[in-house]
Structure 1
Amino acid sequence: MNVMAKAEKKISSAFIYFFGSFGGILFGYDIGVMTGALPFLQADWHLENAASLVGWITSAVMFGAIFGGALAGQLSDKFGRRKMILMSAIVFMVFSVLSGVSPDMGEASAYYLIIVRMLLGLAVGAASALVPAYMSEMAPAKARGRLSGLNQTMIVSGMLLSYVVDFLLKDLPGEWAWRLMLGLAAVPALILFLGVLRLPESPRFLLRKGDEAQARKVLSYIRKNPAEIDQELASIKETAKEERQANQKTSWSTLFSGKYRYLVIAGVGVAAFQQFQGANSIFYYIPLIVQKATGQAASSNLMWPIVQGVILVIGSLVYMWIADKFNRRTLLMVGGAVMGLSFILPAVINWMMPNMNPMTIVVFLCIYVAFYSFTWAPLTWVLVGEIFPLAIRGRASGLASSFNWIGSWLVGLIFPIMTASMPQEAVFAIFGIICILGVIFVKTCVPETRGHTLEEIEEQGTNRGRVKASNPEN
């Protein structure tokens, strides 16, 4: 027993935070890998004119993630965060390999890959829900902002990793290139599994199961002060008690009562706008976008995803620097305005100058990605984590996550269909209009959460509910 205790004691807080957030690498890798794999897959399976199948193959992961996140949240309350992260890593490994060995059976191959990627999406959605939950329960309160930034950095680093792997494999025979790109996703999943084997369970889950001694031991790994440990244990117990009472008093209809409606609409709306603004159309399809703009083969344009990935990583680091220096609303509105103009201006320029350099659109897409990377990408989840009162937090956060995944899935599905039927400048202009609508939404419907306690934010919702109740015509 003493040997085991000593072995556990060697777990450093840096190790816990690194592998606690490493699931973001999986999430990011699978968002990005299809970007490079798709041109080779299209050529190998002759899908160049099958826009709907291409959309389904690309978006199948996001469709599975809609259900994976909700399922993982419920199961983690029963079995623990750590066990569910381990299970997600196993599922990710299995279905990554099955994606890479897809049989060549004509059109049936596409349907096989769609189903396998949907099942893979269960693990992606689970990782996206479990990693922030685990990190928030392990991190000290003063470090939660920075560690939420670490999770975002891990996600975009996973995307960059997938873009680099795609680029390194691009000179292989086409039928091998895309299979290795998809199959190699099993490697970071294996690293995650081996790392999480040494991680402790969340102290909050341990307390919920009545194991206070083990919860205290886990906190001793990541807190320096015994008094701090005692204070945090007492705080966790009180919060758990309040959550149990809240869950007994609320239902889905509570979310849309006068008291909470304002905050629920704000949080869910921001989560939905983040995806419907079209960011994933760039992340999934940038080689095909460049191909359509320039006429160069998509498989020869795999340097562009790396450029996007580098911008995303730099942007995540910029966010960690400015996160607490500017209001949330200010960053969202400035970011959304620039993103919208980056999508709309190429269509305007092309209309005024039909001989516009085709790479102009790619330059504007880089500007879009730069502003997205330090505004809407990280801030959506910071705001969702802050805006919902305790009584509705579980249900409202799940609803926001579901709308976000639905938006991600729909953008991945319909973008190739839209670009097959209209100029891509027009498609991006539509997304640009949605960006501007998002700015208007933030201006009129979203409260400022920076520097406010959860109680103050809830009071804003309560006051807005009273105003609406007294002025129903508004």
Structure 2
Amino acid sequence: MNVMAKAEKKISSAFIYFFGSFGGILFGYDIGVMTGALPFLQADWHLENAASLVGWITSAVMFGAIFGGALAGQLSDKFGRRKMILMSAIVFMVFSVLSGVSPDMGEASAYYLIIVRMLLGLAVGAASALVPAYMSEMAPAKARGRLSGLNQTMIVSGMLLSYVVDFLLKDLPGEWAWRLMLGLAAVPALILFLGVLRLPESPRFLLRKGDEAQARKVLSYIRKNPAEIDQELASIKETAKEERQANQKTSWSTLFSGKYRYLVIAGVGVAAFQQFQGANAIFYYIPLIVQKATGQAASSNLMWPIVQGVILVVGSLVYMWIADKFNRRTLLMVGGAVMGLSFILPAVINWMMPNMNPMTIVVFLCIYVAFYSFTWAPLTWVLVGEIFPLAIRGRASGLASSFNWIGSWLVGLIFPIMTASMPQEAVFAIFGIICILGVIFVKTCVPETRGHTLEEIEEQGTNYGRVKASNPEN
């Protein structure tokens, strides 16, 4: 035990924050890698006219992630955030390799890959739920938006990495290209596993389990002021004391009790809207989108994903700069409004000028990605990590992650089917309307969390719930 304690003292806050958020690399790599692999996979397995199979292969990871997020969130309340992140890395490594060595058995190959990618999705969904919860519990309130935003920077860096790998491998024989693209996802998973081995457990989880001494030690790694440590421990302990006094037993029904309902609806709603707004339609299918707009082969359009990836990384850095300078709600509403217009305007322009340049839609998609990158993309995970009270954080984060992945799965599944039956402009206009509905949701249902401790946010949600109960018309 003493040897472990001495080793833990050498852990720097930078190391903790870096590897605490590194799970986003896995999330991002798998979001992006199929973008480049898909054109080669389609050609290799002759799936050019199989829109449903293409949709399932692409979206299988998101389908698995629906369950991975919920399961990991629940298990993390019992075993801890750190252990579940380690398990996610192992699962990710195994099924990334199995994806790359998919047997060539005709149509059966597609079903094999769908099943393997569903199981891979368990790890992706777990990472999407665990990383924001871990980062929010490690970060101080005044810097939580910026540090939690590291998760988004990691996600988009993983996406850009996958786009670059896809581009570098595009000249290999088609069969080898897509197999290496998918299999190399095991490398960041191994790096994550080795890094997380040295990470401490979340202080809030430790205190919840009664280990105050270890919780204080962990906080000493990431808080410089002893008075701040004492104050934070006291605040967490007070919340835990209230829970014990109420003899609360958390269950799924607890999430929708009067005390927590408002915050759960807000967090889950934002997570769902982020995906139903259609961002992943761009990230998964941008080569095919450009192909349909210009007639050029999708496999020759792999520079466009890199362009999108660069925009996403720059946007995530912009977010880290402005994260704690603007209210969360303000950024979400401004971003959602511009994103909605970026989807709707091409349809309007095409209706007014039927001969418009086909690349116009791609330009508007870049505007969408730019605003998405520093508003809805990072803020969704910041809110999911900070809006839920300690008693329900694991389950609620898992539920929000699952709804997020339901949206991602449906978008990934139906987008190729929709574009096969209607103009691309009309499909994106539908997503644009959803973006505007998301703005309305934020305006009416989401509380402001910037600068508040996690315990203050819980009290704010409890008080709001009481007001709504006594004044249902407000």
TM-score by length of 2: 0.91
Distance of 1:223 and 1:246 partners within structure 2: 31
Distance of 2:417 and 2:259 partners within structure 1: 41
* More divergent stretch after superposition (115-124 vs 347-356): 347-356
Question: Secondary structure of the equivalent of 2:246?
Answer: helix
Amino-acid identity (%):
99
Seen in structure 2, the aligned counterparts of structure 1 residues 264 and 138 have a Cα distance that, compared at 3 Å, is closer
Seen in structure 2, the aligned counterparts of structure 1 residues 79 and 314 have a Cα distance that, compared at 3 Å, is same
Seen in structure 2, the aligned counterparts of structure 1 residues 242 and 121 have a Cα distance that, compared at 3 Å, is farther
Seen in structure 2, the aligned counterparts of structure 1 residues 236 and 344 have a Cα distance that, compared at 3 Å, is same
Residue 226 of structure 1, CA deviation = 4.6
1:316-357 superposed Cα distances (whole Å, 9 cap, x missing partner)? 111112223223222222211111111111112222222211
Stretches of structure 2 that go unaligned for 5 or more consecutive residues are none
Seen in structure 2, the aligned counterparts of structure 1 residues 466 and 93 have a Cα distance that, compared at 3 Å, is closer
* Residue-pair matches, total: 474
Q: For residue 261 of structure 1, what is the aligned residue in structure 2? A: 261
Task: Give yes or no for contact 2:327–2:448 (8 Å, CA) kept in 1.
Answer: yes
Residue 230 of structure 1, CA deviation = 4.3
1:44-101 superposed Cα distances (whole Å, 9 cap, x missing partner)? 0001111111111111111111111121122223333222222111111110000000
* More divergent stretch after superposition (105-114 vs 448-457): 448-457
Distance of 2:354 and 2:260 partners within structure 1: 50
Seen in structure 2, the aligned counterparts of structure 1 residues 459 and 280 have a Cα distance that, compared at 3 Å, is same
Q: Which has the higher contact order (CA 8 A, sep 6+)?
A: 2
* More divergent stretch after superposition (205-214 vs 376-385): 205-214
Distance of 1:131 and 1:471 partners within structure 2: 37
Question: Secondary structure of the equivalent of 2:248?
Answer: helix
Task: Give yes or no for contact 1:243–1:390 (8 Å, CA) kept in 2.
Answer: no
Distance of 1:315 and 1:298 partners within structure 2: 26
Seen in structure 2, the aligned counterparts of structure 1 residues 107 and 280 have a Cα distance that, compared at 3 Å, is same
* More divergent stretch after superposition (322-331 vs 223-232): 223-232
Residue 307 of structure 1, CA deviation = 0.6
Seen in structure 2, the aligned counterparts of structure 1 residues 195 and 384 have a Cα distance that, compared at 3 Å, is closer
Distance of 2:256 and 2:221 partners within structure 1: 41
Task: Give yes or no for contact 2:24–2:152 (8 Å, CA) kept in 1.
Answer: yes
Distance of 1:325 and 1:282 partners within structure 2: 29
Residue 196 of structure 1, CA deviation = 1.7
Distance of 1:251 and 1:76 partners within structure 2: 14
Task: Give yes or no for contact 1:82–1:202 (8 Å, CA) kept in 2.
Answer: yes
Residue 236 of structure 1, CA deviation = 3.7
Task: Give yes or no for contact 2:275–2:407 (8 Å, CA) kept in 1.
Answer: yes
Seen in structure 2, the aligned counterparts of structure 1 residues 75 and 346 have a Cα distance that, compared at 3 Å, is same
The two structures, once aligned, show a CA RMSD in angstroms of: 2.6
Q: For residue 382 of structure 1, what is the aligned residue in structure 2? A: 382
Seen in structure 2, the aligned counterparts of structure 1 residues 178 and 328 have a Cα distance that, compared at 3 Å, is same
Seen in structure 2, the aligned counterparts of structure 1 residues 340 and 79 have a Cα distance that, compared at 3 Å, is same
Residue 443 of structure 1, CA deviation = 2.8
Distance of 1:390 and 1:277 partners within structure 2: 29
The within-5 A match list for 1:322-337 is 322-337=322-337
Task: Give yes or no for contact 1:246–1:390 (8 Å, CA) kept in 2.
Answer: no
Seen in structure 2, the aligned counterparts of structure 1 residues 246 and 289 have a Cα distance that, compared at 3 Å, is farther
Q: For residue 87 of structure 2, what is the aligned residue in structure 1? A: 87
Stretches of structure 1 that go unaligned for 5 or more consecutive residues are none
Residue 125 of structure 1, CA deviation = 1.0
Task: Give yes or no for contact 2:146–2:324 (8 Å, CA) kept in 1.
Answer: no
Residue 253 of structure 1, CA deviation = 4.6
Question: Secondary structure of the equivalent of 1:109?
Answer: helix
* More divergent stretch after superposition (144-153 vs 381-390): 381-390
The within-5 A match list for 1:77-156 is 77-156=77-156
Q: For residue 367 of structure 1, what is the aligned residue in structure 2? A: 367
Question: Secondary structure of the equivalent of 1:466?
Answer: helix
Residue 432 of structure 1, CA deviation = 1.0
Residue 126 of structure 1, CA deviation = 1.1
Seen in structure 2, the aligned counterparts of structure 1 residues 71 and 399 have a Cα distance that, compared at 3 Å, is closer
Residue 223 of structure 1, CA deviation = 3.5
1:168-192 superposed Cα distances (whole Å, 9 cap, x missing partner)? 1111111000000000001111111
TM-score by length of 1: 0.91
Seen in structure 2, the aligned counterparts of structure 1 residues 250 and 193 have a Cα distance that, compared at 3 Å, is closer
Residue 217 of structure 1, CA deviation = 3.6
Q: For residue 163 of structure 2, what is the aligned residue in structure 1? A: 163
Task: Give yes or no for contact 2:141–2:454 (8 Å, CA) kept in 1.
Answer: no
Seen in structure 2, the aligned counterparts of structure 1 residues 149 and 247 have a Cα distance that, compared at 3 Å, is farther
Task: Give yes or no for contact 1:30–1:185 (8 Å, CA) kept in 2.
Answer: yes
Q: For residue 278 of structure 1, what is the aligned residue in structure 2? A: 278
Residue 257 of structure 1, CA deviation = 5.3
Residue 274 of structure 1, CA deviation = 1.0
Task: Give yes or no for contact 2:73–2:394 (8 Å, CA) kept in 1.
Answer: no
Task: Give yes or no for contact 2:337–2:435 (8 Å, CA) kept in 1.
Answer: yes
Question: Secondary structure of the equivalent of 2:201?
Answer: coil
